[in-house]
Amino acid sequence: MRAVTETAGVAEVDADQVLTELAGSGSEAEPSGPKFTLELNQDQKDIREWVHGFAEGVVRPAAAEWDEREETPWPVIQEAAKIGLYSFEAMGQFWSDETGLTLPIANEELFWGDAGIGMAIMGTSLAVAAIFGQGTPEQMGEWIPQCFGTPDDVKLGAFCASEPDAGSDVSAIRTTAKYDEAGDEWVINGQKAWATNGGIANVHVVIASVDRELGSRGHAAFVIPPDTKGCEQGAKVKKHGLRASHTADVHLDDCRVPGSCLLGGKEKLDERLARVREGKKSKGQAAMQTFEASRPTVGAQALGIARAAYEYALEYAKERRQFGKAIIENQSIAFTLADMKLEIDAARLLVWRAAWMGRTGQNFENAEGSMSKLKAGEVAVWATERAIQILGGNGYTREFPVERMHRDSKIYTIFEGTSEIQRLVISRAISGVHVK
């Protein structure tokens, strides 16, 4: 992997080369690659420092403002694009690290800066991951760059799976896609809920049912190109946290897209549907592997929030004096901070293990991806709540950042699979029993 230099950033990486590397780095790869090590290589250290610098210098100072405004922080995304951090080249470089650790490292640093702005920058990667995971090389080449735009004209991507009646239960998706053979077009109808960047994205990736009788095995992913008629933003959601990240419903009314917008292509879809209808086993394991592989990245975001709250609380506890001494001199405060550090480091080990497993094609026999997201999400909620406690009344106010961090952390036990669903996945994996 090429090193990121301070002056060049990642913007100078050759785009075609990135796509070629990405195409060869799917999660279905045979187990291979480097042995697991906690010793970061120079590229990883450089990227960590680079993202940290941006998080500290640009993201943090803007965090409170955009949280209050509850709007997409376009100028900050543009700054990220200018230095090459918000770009498909950077995302490709993070993804293509053969140890798998660069992606969680970059996410942790960015979300350490601020989670709302972090999600405004990283939300696009949900759509990118779907195109990368299911698209042909041509589709990757066409759509992934359009998810990002250019530094002068920044664009976003949105991934729309959830619906009002289909959250944890994705098999309940009602959005349909019907093939119109005469025009070689797909006609998509339905309503999507909770889409990050929904309605303001340039490229939407929509999960729709092509055969309702097959449940989730009858689903397919479609790219909705920019400005397609029939794809409109619905209500924007007012949220508890991550308020700098736009979340909205997306309405799809007779939304027609070219046949080429079906990710993976029609031939592959027809073959898969035929296999399912014949009662043959679908590639459920491959889909499971993909989910498991993406979960550590989400866990790393939660870790960034937890670490930020821990660091703030540690400094505060050393400064704040009550009863003639710093509050950290009380065991109850010091032990809480010790536990916070312990839990955060433990969660990071799970995140890095799962990231390495995903990238090197190991089997997630015990749902290690789910473990990492579950642990990191719950640690973030717990650690940010403890941070508020350590700051006392100040912690409860919007004048201090731990209040925002606590609000931001809560989503990490809900989206990308709730904590209950992660426990379901883990319990099934370890027991072989179809736990309900």
Catalytic residues: 416
How far apart are the C-alpha atoms of 193 and 105, rounded to whole Å? Answer: 30
Q: What is the CA radius of gyration of the chain?
A: 22
Residue from 93, 162, 370, 384 in contact with ligand FAD (CB under 6 A): 162
CA-based nearest residue to 306, from 337, 334, 350: 337
Query: Does position 414 bind ligand FAD by CB under 6 A?
Result: yes
Residues of span 218-257 touching ligand FAD by CB under 6 A: 239, 242, 247
Sole window of 93-101, 153-161, 178-186, 324-332 interacting with ligand FAD (rule: CB under 6 A) = 153-161
Nearest distance from residue 120's CB to ligand FAD, in Å? 12
Binding segment (CB under 6 A) for ligand FAD, from list 33-41, 43-51, 310-318, 407-415: 407-415
- Using the rule CB under 6 A, give the single segment among 5-13, 49-57, 194-202, 257-265 that binds ligand FAD: 194-202
Q: Which is nearer to ligand FAD, 10 or 160 (CB)?
A: 160
Q: Please tell me the count of residues contacting ligand FAD according to CB under 6 A.
A: 20
Q: Is 396 exposed, middle or buried (CB count within 10 Å of its CB: 0-12, 13-18, 19+)?
A: middle
CA distance 431 to 429: 6
**What DSSP string describes 317-371?**
HHH-EETTEEGGGSHHHHHHHHHHHHHHHHHHHHHHHHHHHHHTT---TT-HHHH
- For residue 197, list its beta bridge partners: none
One residue of 98, 259, 421, 427 binding ligand FAD per CB under 6 A: 421
Among residues 131, 388, 411, 429, which is the contact residue for ligand FAD, using CB under 6 A? 411
Our CB check for ligand FAD shows the closer of 63 and 340 to be: 63
Give the binding range for ligand FAD (CB under 6 A) out of 29-37, 63-71, 90-98, 419-427: 419-427
The residues near 330 (Cβ < 8 Å, ≥ 6 apart) are none
d(CA 132, CA 23): 8
- Structure tokens belonging to residue 384: 């940010």
- Does position 147 interact with ligand FAD (CB under 6 A)? The reply is no
Binder to ligand FAD among 18, 22, 110, 126 (CB under 6 A)?
A: 126
Give me the least distance between CB of 195 and ligand FAD, in Å please: 5
Q: Which residues of 128-158 are buried (b: 16+ CB within 10 A; e: fewer)?
A: bbbbbbbbbeebbbbbbbbbbbebeebbbbb
Interface residue list for ligand FAD (CB under 6 A):
126, 159-162, 167-168, 194-196, 239, 242, 247, 411, 414-415, 418, 420-421, 424
